[in-house]
Amino acid sequence: MRAEQKESFLTKCFRRGRRFIGRYWGTTEYIACYRSLAEVEPDPQRPDDPFRFFVATPEDIPWMCQYLDEWARWCYGGKQVHTAEEILREQLSAGDNFSIVGAENRPGGALVSIGDICYDEFALRILGDEFKPSREASIRRGWVHPEYRGKRAAGRAMSAVAVEAARRGLKGIWSMVKVKNVPSRALFEWSGYGERGRIRWKVRLNRRYAAVRLDGATKWTVHPVSDDMPHL
């Protein structure tokens, strides 16, 4: 007997219809998370460690692109807006931005995860005066390859991001996680992030907005978001 049953035709139609409507009208609520880097301990690399983590360079892009077709669609809400190579080159050429990559700890090992850290206008506009680009950065994207999910790769990647950010002199990292995403919320809590507020990502036909409420504020601050910025 099969452990899983195939979705019915009506269920598939319902899911696709909901995704289609969500592209043009809807609200998704996120938790604004923050981690101080005042006390960060390096995670020592063991010889038997299944994963290794390093800072990506432009020379790594051809190797990374072999594994990132799904990631490129995920970056833009399921749409193939840009190729993985285009996204990676933009990320790695933008000022002080950097990416932490996880790979199998063996010669020719496959890509395991990628985390993009940025100092860009996106975080500044979403978080307003709370974001201090000279001292802080934000996790723009964090992704684990489907074959390695549930194998502690995500937690190790989060630790590697914190260590590299602290090495660069940053004082803290912001990130955002969906309220309904219980596994990700648990991961961020385990990684030392605390809740600083809520963000509502609103889509109204061809316009997008981010409504922000931080540190116990009673009113929402609304920022329009341009179309060239990726989906949260």
User: Which domains are delineated in the chain?
Assistant: 26-225 (3.40.630.30)
Rounded to two decimals, the pTM is 0.76
pLDDT at 132 over 60: yes
For the ranges 15-19, 41-45, 97-101, 226-230, the lowest mean pLDDT is seen at: 226-230
Query: Please, which pLDDT band fits residue 149 given cuts at 50, 70 and 90?
Result: confident
- Provide the pLDDT for residue 23: 64
Contacts of 119-128 with C-beta under 8 Å, sequence gap 24+, read 119/95, 120/94, 120/95, 122/229, 122/230, 123/174, 125/210, 125/223, 125/225, 126/176, 126/199, 126/210, 126/212, 126/223, 126/225, 127/32, 127/174, 127/212, 127/214, 128/212, 128/221, 128/223
H helices of 48-152, in order, are 61-65, 69-74, 84-92, 121-127
DSSP designation for 156: H
Tell me if 183 sits within 8 A of 154, measured CB to CB. no
